[in-house]
Amino acid sequence: MDTWTPNPRAKPFIPRQQRSLYLTWKYKLTNKRAVRRLCQSGAVLFLLVTVIVNIKLILDTRRAAIEEEAVQDYDEVLPNMETPRRPPNGRKVLDIEVYSSRSKVYVAVDGTTVLEDEMREQGRGIHVIVLNQATGHVMAKRVFDTYSPHEDEAMILFLNMVTRGRVLIFTIKDEGSFHLKDAAKSLLKGLGSQVSMSLSWRDMWTLVVKKGGQVYGEKHSKSPALSTWGDPVLLKTEVQLTASEDAECHWSDTELNRRRKLFCSKVEGYGSICSCKDPAPIEFSPDPLPDNRVYDVPVAVIAGNRPNYLYRMLRSLLSAQGVNPQMITVFIDGYYEEPMDVVELFGLKGVQHTPISIKNARVSQVRPRHTRAHRPDLGV
């Protein structure tokens, strides 16, 4: 220590101050090692994301290929299907095929496709078809998006209004269990389903059953994980038709009941209107309106393809005090069959026409038709 001498060229000592956040990050970024580690971490993350995306793409491609193969098999088999056979008792047998998958559903009856839905972003949920047990023709088609709230309640209401003995066909597209509550599952179980209580997320499912009777077939494919769908299922079964006498109600032969019989042989889902024991009325006798000045005023009803709403509205209208059914005309915006069947059930005048214009402007097209229907003398 005695020989130590200070270095005259040394810089004076200054206590080190704490760096700001900006200087700290600037120092780290100028450090080559830190930059190298940051680039390595980014490359690893990018590689990991790329691998995950590629795996998902491969799985989706594989599933789509399986579905296309199933559809091709169906197309190859369909031309070779035999004509409906007749068992020894002489009654016709229907060949029914029902397909359920993530992106497509279809139903074929005796080689004729009565339902096919492969539209993207549409038709999700449980598709229901009702067949006449004596003729095999389609009486009703409905789709209930049971992924969404309250659709299961609408399905319960519809199934309860279907006449006992009808053939019911069910198939799921995409997803149909998220809001399928226990009440709906119990109803399906009561119809004969063995797997309805265990239906879960993205399962595929088909069922053919007679309401209140035999189960003709059921298939179910479980989804292996939350991120995937169950494998497509194809149900092939046979349905033996019943005699026409057993499928019809024996009402008295009146003009009202002839209209009712024709309606109930074509469409379904209207509840007691087709009851054999106590059918709902289709003719009403409301009290007359005192000093009725609107008895001869024409009434125009504008309808689209919502026959159930039209049915309820016409029942309410015909029950109103002072109504004159002869002055009611229903204008159907499009050539739809079931709304016209509802109009004819109540014995009203119906006019079908090609839709003209769009949105609210369509209403203006009804006025001249309405005038011609009730005042032909005006020459409008």
pLDDT tens string, the chain, 380 residues long: the values are 567 777 777 767 666 655 566 666 666 656 666 667 777 788 888 888 888 888 877 777 776 666 666 555 545 444 433 334 555 555 689 999 999 999 999 999 999 999 999 998 899 999 999 999 999 999 999 999 999 999 999 999 999 999 999 999 999 999 999 999 999 999 999 999 999 999 999 999 999 999 999 999 999 999 999 889 999 999 999 999 998 888 889 999 999 999 999 999 999 999 899 999 999 999 999 998 888 888 999 999 999 899 999 999 999 999 999 999 999 999 998 899 999 999 999 999 999 988 877 766 666 665 555 555 555 554 54
First to last CA, the chain: 125
> Of 295, 289, 280, 284, whose CA–CA distance to 347 is shortest?
284
Report how far apart, in Å, the C-alpha atoms of 354 and of each of 8, 128, 332 are: 106, 28, 9
Query: What is the token pair recorded at 204?
Result: 């595929």
b/e map 107-116, b = 16+ CB within 10 Å? bbbbeeebbe
Q: Which helix (H) or strand (E) segment is 168 a member of?
A: strand 167-173
Side-chain half-sphere of 75: how many Cα atoms within 13 Å? 7
Cite the DSSP H helix spans in the chain.
21-30, 32-77, 151-161, 182-191, 244-247, 255-266, 307-318, 337-345, 366-374
3-state helix, strand, coil in the chain (%, to 5): 40, 20, 40
Instruction: Give the pLDDT of residue 1.
Output: 58
Q: How far apart are CA 363 and CA 360, in angstroms?
A: 6
Q: Give the sheet arrangement for strand 105-109, strand by strand.
A: 112-117, 105-109, 93-100, 233-240
Query: What is the token pair recorded at 294?
Result: 């609107």
Contacting residues for 71 by C-beta, under 8 A, at least 6 apart: 99, 104
| Residue at token pair 């040394």 | 10
Instruction: Give the pLDDT of residue 33.
Output: 65
Instruction: Give the pLDDT of residue 323.
Output: 93
Instruction: Give the pLDDT of residue 363.
Output: 60
Instruction: Give the pLDDT of residue 58.
Output: 79
Instruction: Give the pLDDT of residue 29.
Output: 58
Instruction: Give the pLDDT of residue 77.
Output: 43
Q: How far apart are CA 377 and CA 380, in angstroms?
A: 8
Residue 297 burial by CB count (10 A; 0-12/13-18/19+): exposed, middle or buried? exposed
Instruction: Give the pLDDT of residue 370.
Output: 52
8 Å CB contact between 177 and 201 = yes
Instruction: Give the pLDDT of residue 159.
Output: 96
Q: Which residues pair with 142 in a beta bridge?
A: 128
Instruction: Give the pLDDT of residue 78.
Output: 40
Q: How far apart are CA 284 and CA 47, in angstroms?
A: 74
Q: Which residues pair with 106 in a beta bridge?
A: 99, 116
